[in-house]
Amino acid sequence: MQTRQLGNELDVYPVGLGCMGMSFVYGGQAEADAIATLRRAVEIGVNFFDTAEVYGPYENEILLGKALKPVRDQVTIATKFGFKILEEGNGVERMAGVDSRPEHVKAVAEASLKRLGTEVIDLYYQHRVDPNVPIEDTVGAMAELVREGKVRALGLSEASAATIRRAHAVHP
């Protein structure tokens, strides 16, 4: 099967599966149906799956972890971070802006690893650029996760070319 290379680390099938709608927005779907869909995707050659901590929040990463556990060695999992998720007293979570401070980046990576049930996140990327944190600081924290073996590759979503150049200077 023909693959495409993402950066220096990842080879993926040209068609990936964005999983947001399986448990978040668009009505979601029953867990058993979502798991069957994810496993069928692997059977037909899809090996790139995209999620984020904010989808649910958290529910989508948990779903992916469950569904892909038996085939973890065959798939590439991408997850995103960067939102401040507030948990209110009644268990309801809500977003309250962006947060890409280095300590937050590391804490949410640890939480994502647990929810995904994996020892490494294949592609860890910033969901939105945080205007209050220099990209060099954010990417510096992400690069530490790579050095620690918790993340294989880094990415940025919705970043300008200038921001990407600054980030690349910290960690290509």
State the Cα torsion 156-157-158-162 to the nearest 10°.
10
The DSSP call for residue 62 is: H
Number of structural domains in the chain? 1
- pLDDT for 150 equals 98
Q: What per-residue confidence (pLDDT) applies to 156?
A: 96
Residue 26 falls in the annotated catalytic set: no
Contact 70, 38 (CB under 8 A): no
Measured distance CA(149)–CA(169) in Å, rounded: 20
User: Catalytic one among 55, 58, 124, 125?
Assistant: 55
Q: Specify the pLDDT at position 67.
A: 97
- Give the model's pLDDT for residue 92: 66
Q: Contact 53/83 with Cβ under 8 angstroms?
A: yes
3-class DSSP state of 91: coil
Structure tokens at 122: 């294949």
Give the pLDDT of the chain (172 residues) as one tens digit per residue.
788 898 888 999 888 999 999 987 887 789 999 999 999 999 999 999 999 999 989 999 999 999 999 999 999 999 999 999 987 766 667 778 999 999 999 999 999 999 999 999 999 999 999 999 999 999 999 999 999 999 999 999 999 999 999 999 999 8
Residue 100: give the domain boundaries.
Answer: 4-170
Q: Which of 123, 148, 137 is nearest to 170 (CA)?
A: 137
In this prediction, residue 8 carries a pLDDT of 85
Tokens of 8: 């220096």
- Whether the pTM exceeds 0.85: the reply is yes
CATH number for position 44: 3.20.20.100
